[in-house]
Structure 1
Amino acid sequence: MSRPAHRRELRLNAFQMCAPGHTWAGLWRHPRNASADYNTLDYWVSVARTAERGLLDGVFLADVFGTYDVYGGNADAALARAAQAPSADPFLVVPAMAHATQHLGFGVTANLTYEHPYPFARRVSTLDHLTGGRAGWNVVTGYLESGARGMGLAQARAHDTRYEAGEDFLAAVYALWEGSWEDGAVRRDRAGGVFTDPAKVHRVRHDGPYYRVDGRHLAEPSPQRTPVLYQAGTSSRGRLFAGRHAECVFLNGHTPAVAARSVRALREAARASGRDPYDVLMFLGATVIAAPTRAEALDLRDEYARYLDAEGQLALVSGWTGIDLSGLAPDEALAYVRTNAMQSLVENLTIPGERPFTAGDFAEFGPRGARAPFIVGAASEVADELLAWAEATDVDGFNLTRVVVPETLEAVVDLVVPELQSRGAFKRRYREGTLREKLFPEGDARLKPSHPGAAHRRPPRPAPEPRAAEASA
């Protein structure tokens, strides 16, 4: 199965979070950084308009449920250093961004562990309606013990159990989105006084090991029915889940070899699930600092580095890995420990045969600290590196990590995008249609038939038999 022709164009998302600090702790302090205004609509409308001006595919909104309290055994560092705390609900900022744009897509993270399929399905359908079919859901299962405690649980679900519950959750929402309302159920018949044909709305009965549903979907079908599905799990169990369900996967990798390994495994998981491996778009995280000249870009890098908060970074990595780094010396290597957090990250940071990561690496504003491509230079140099990474890893595009808002995103839009366009490696206009149609122009607004969610669709009803008089005529 070969790569479709349109994949020659790179995909780009603006990687954001509804929090003052994201993956680079401390940069909220930079005098030109607007990220402390994360809780205002003006901030999000500005980000969306800039991203759409650059023809980016979407704004990818990260989220975490809980507070990073592994470092030092408490949440003090995360709170003081704004290490993804405080945070706001990412769902609520999307309608404002959608209203200010026409084409931009939105990938919103939601933790299914603390949701129920019945109300969640309505919320996502509502978002898809309000965005005109530009909604995507980043399916996560949660890993922070603090989130579990906040929800009144003794502890978080075990790593693999989270994915088993995820399978159950998705089966329930697929049934609601795809199977509850038939095509044509909504009539909007003013003259006849009928809004919905009751015969075409069906009760969903789902009795799974983790979730139960008995009811009709509360929302009428949205433009995509099922939103575009994103996923970020690259552990062995996460790959199986992504290969079966994801349409887009977000991954990291500090070298092309590490990223390529993950991509190959994910595409093979999709193939094993009966899907075309290229029905799954791969987005590699990347930090990009561009400027008119290389010297200016390097100056910006050094300027930004002065605001990086080492303790905040260690609080983040401790939470992601489930390993308390507060006792490690700066030059001490991270050893592999199986935890209940992000197993794929721990594996990537301790892969045999490569220099292991140290606590000092995590506090570096550079490639080691990014755990992903860290690209600095003039537009032509940035384009060279992005294309080289894409070629070496078989990714389809990049999630561009927030650094300083708005200037690092504006530099991509004003400098890097035109350079990629001049090489035929980036679109010059948006395609029409929903987010799914923009990402997969060979398809349509609905899930592809090979996707497991499509199995929940009701077959079209046969045309009614003609009446006797009509038949004789």
Structure 2
Amino acid sequence: MKRIYWNAFEMNCVGHINHGLWKIPGNKRAHYKNLEYWTDLAKTLEKGRFDALFLADVVGLYDVYKGGLDTSIKEAVQIPANDPFIPISAMAHVTSNLSFAVTFSTSYEHPYGFARRMSTLDHLTNGRIAWNIVTSHLESADKNFEVKQYLDHDEKYDLAEEFLEVCYKLWELSWDNDAVSLENNDCYASPSKVHKINHKGKYFNVPGPHICEPSPQRTPVIYQAGMSERGRYFAAKNAECIFLGGKDIDTIKWFIKDIKNKAFSLGRSQNEIKFFMGLCIITGLTDDAIREKIELYKAFWSVEGNLAHYCGGQNLDLSKYEKEDILNGSKVTDILDNLRKIDGKWFRVITGKPVEVVNQIQSIIEETDIDGFNLVQFHSPHTFEDFINYIVPELQNRELYQKDYSPGTYREKLFYGKHEYKFNNFYYNPPKDI
């Protein structure tokens, strides 16, 4: 059986994906603003041998449902939400092997400052950092960042391509490997080995050089999560790890096949990409214990919160339509029924005792050829604790989960040892005067 990677899926907010469940007695989601929440989580995940903590983020507001923000605010639908970057250095300090994938949008900030932020985290984590690239789709984000020229969906990916090109040049070309020499008492770094990048493009003009010396990975591991046609092309061109949307097996299989074909046509090896899907697990040692958890989650499930999230993401206010109206090929009543179910959102839900759960996971792996999973929470931190206590031992018995960490950076852990980012061989041709 091939190596399978496991990420914990989180967000620096109260209500991430499964809305309303923060109200469950004992749920610690409201403690997201306390540093101990994050350091305790990191220690738990490393004890459970998770590969990484995947931090989602959003910089806009879900303000479409019922024409405003009221529902999102009342139900804590990704508001309030703090910066996902800030807790990482503290979590890295209390762990040695857990990696961190953090989401950042290319649409609103400048690549020069962002490249510095990522290099800093790569240094502080000793090479355990990844960047999940998004382009953002909420109109409220465009307004709050005072975007002067609104870009359509595909144009945002054009900007993202150049954003990456600037970052690649700063990370990979600005400093020679031997630019810093601590043995040389005359200077910290050799000026002749630190270069400007002289980037001039449609969206950015960045002379450089990079303000940071090379970090352990130089370029962080690149994740991407866009599933549109343009997003899949972008992923096939740039990403090392791809987080797939959808819960239907046939959909996941189609996404993987399509992206692999695109990557191959662009000159990439299919072995250079790892595919991840979202997964929710409800488990216990007895049927009664599992049933109690399901009923508990149903009792606190917020239909209004899930409606606010869905409508914001679709830019579609369902409150304006009748139940029998057809939208995007589905009746409004069917959409509503789907949002009422705890297994009816964006990710596949598996319930059962440990052997039953792992049987289903193994079946998914065999059917889809998936490389890993982002584990979604219902109850913080009980979902992760249940997974570690009940599911991990059975996964390990079937060699579907690591028993110990391998050495090296996050990229080296993903790609079996020494592995450098191959941007020079494929992603763009650097100007000859650099």
User: Could you list the per-position Cα deviations for residues 141-164 of structure 1 after superposition, in whole angstroms to 9, with x for gaps in the alignment?
Assistant: 111110110011267521000100
* Residues 323 and 333, structure 2, Cα contact 8 Å, conserved in 1: no
Within 2, Cα distance between the matches of 1:433 and 1:263?
27
Q: CA deviation at 1:46?
A: 1.3
Within 2, Cα distance between the matches of 1:263 and 1:32?
38
Is 1:91 aligned to 2:66, yes or no?
no
Change (3 A) 1:161 1:43: same
Q: CA deviation at 1:442?
A: 4.9
Q: CA deviation at 1:11?
A: 1.1
User: Could you list the per-position Cα deviations for residues 245-295 of structure 1 after superposition, in whole angstroms to 9, with x for gaps in the alignment?
Assistant: 001111122211111111111111211221112311111011111212233
Q: CA deviation at 1:212?
A: 1.4
Q: Which residue of 2 aligns with 1:363?
A: 340
Is 1:447 aligned to 2:410, yes or no?
no
Q: Which residue of 1 aligns with 2:405?
A: 430
Q: CA deviation at 1:326?
A: 2.0
Within 2, Cα distance between the matches of 1:30 and 1:388?
32
Q: Which residue of 2 aligns with 1:18?
A: 12
1:306-455 equivalence runs, <5 A:
306-328=299-321, 334-335=327-328, 357-366=334-343, 368-369=344-345, 371-444=346-419, 446-448=420-422, 452-453=426-427
Within 1, Cα distance between the matches of 2:287 and 2:245?
25
Within 1, Cα distance between the matches of 2:334 and 2:418?
42
* Residues 149 and 155, structure 1, Cα contact 8 Å, conserved in 2: no
Change (3 A) 1:182 1:453: farther
User: Could you list the per-position Cα deviations for residues 43-100 of structure 1 after superposition, in whole angstroms to 9, with x for gaps in the alignment?
Assistant: 0111111111111110000000111011122111111100011100000010011111
* Residues 133 and 222, structure 1, Cα contact 8 Å, conserved in 2: yes
* Residues 314 and 326, structure 1, Cα contact 8 Å, conserved in 2: no
What is the identity, as a one-letter code, of the residue corresponding to 1:245? N
Q: Which residue of 2 aligns with 1:339?
A: none
Within 2, Cα distance between the matches of 1:158 and 1:118?
23
Q: Which one of 161, 164, 169 corresponds to residue 158 of structure 2?
A: 164
Within 1, Cα distance between the matches of 2:26 and 2:322?
33
Q: Which one of 22, 29, 41 corresponds to residue 28 of structure 1?
A: 22
* Residues 294 and 376, structure 1, Cα contact 8 Å, conserved in 2: no
User: Could you list the per-position Cα deviations for residues 107-163 of structure 1 after superposition, in whole angstroms to 9, with x for gaps in the alignment?
Assistant: 000111111111111110001000010000001111111011001126752100010
Change (3 A) 1:451 1:22: farther
User: Could you list the per-position Cα deviations for residues 443-462 of structure 1 after superposition, in whole angstroms to 9, with x for gaps in the alignment?
Assistant: 42x2036764585599xxxx
* Residues 133 and 223, structure 1, Cα contact 8 Å, conserved in 2: yes
Q: Which residue of 2 aligns with 1:222?
A: 215
Within 1, Cα distance between the matches of 2:300 and 2:14?
14
Is 1:138 aligned to 2:132, yes or no?
yes
Aligned residue-pair number: 433
Is 1:293 aligned to 2:276, yes or no?
no
Q: Which residue of 1 aligns with 2:110?
A: 116
Q: Which one of 237, 246, 264 corresponds to residue 244 of structure 1?
A: 237
Within 2, Cα distance between the matches of 1:437 and 1:252?
26
Change (3 A) 1:356 1:253: farther
What is the identity, as a one-letter code, of the residue corresponding to 2:51? D
User: Aligned to 1:230, what secondary structure does the other structure show?
Assistant: strand
Within 1, Cα distance between the matches of 2:63 and 2:311?
8
Change (3 A) 1:356 1:425: farther
Q: CA deviation at 1:356?
A: 10
What is the identity, as a one-letter code, of the residue corresponding to 2:225? A
Within 1, Cα distance between the matches of 2:144 and 2:423?
39
* Residues 157 and 231, structure 2, Cα contact 8 Å, conserved in 1: yes
1:34-49 equivalence runs, <5 A:
34-49=28-43
Within 2, Cα distance between the matches of 1:211 and 1:307?
47
Within 2, Cα distance between the matches of 1:373 and 1:384?
14
User: Aligned to 2:318, what secondary structure does the other structure show?
Assistant: coil
Change (3 A) 1:374 1:328: farther
Q: Which one of 109, 122, 128 corresponds to residue 122 of structure 2?
A: 128
Change (3 A) 1:96 1:331: farther
TM-score (norm 2): 0.95
Change (3 A) 1:297 1:332: farther
Within 2, Cα distance between the matches of 1:92 and 1:144?
23
User: Could you list the per-position Cα deviations for residues 161-190 of structure 1 after superposition, in whole angstroms to 9, with x for gaps in the alignment?
Assistant: 010001110111100000000110011236
* Residues 133 and 434, structure 1, Cα contact 8 Å, conserved in 2: yes
User: Could you list the per-position Cα deviations for residues 299-352 of structure 1 after superposition, in whole angstroms to 9, with x for gaps in the alignment?
Assistant: 21111111111111011111112222223456765425xxxxxxxxxxxxx6xx
Change (3 A) 1:80 1:188: same
Within 2, Cα distance between the matches of 1:329 and 1:429?
54
What is the identity, as a one-letter code, of the residue corresponding to 1:89? D
User: Aligned to 1:92, what secondary structure does the other structure show?
Assistant: coil
Within 2, Cα distance between the matches of 1:56 and 1:329?
45
Within 2, Cα distance between the matches of 1:125 and 1:237?
28
Q: Which residue of 2 aligns with 1:71?
A: 65
- For structure 2, the 5+ residue unaligned runs are none
Q: Which one of 262, 281, 284 corresponds to residue 277 of structure 2?
A: 284
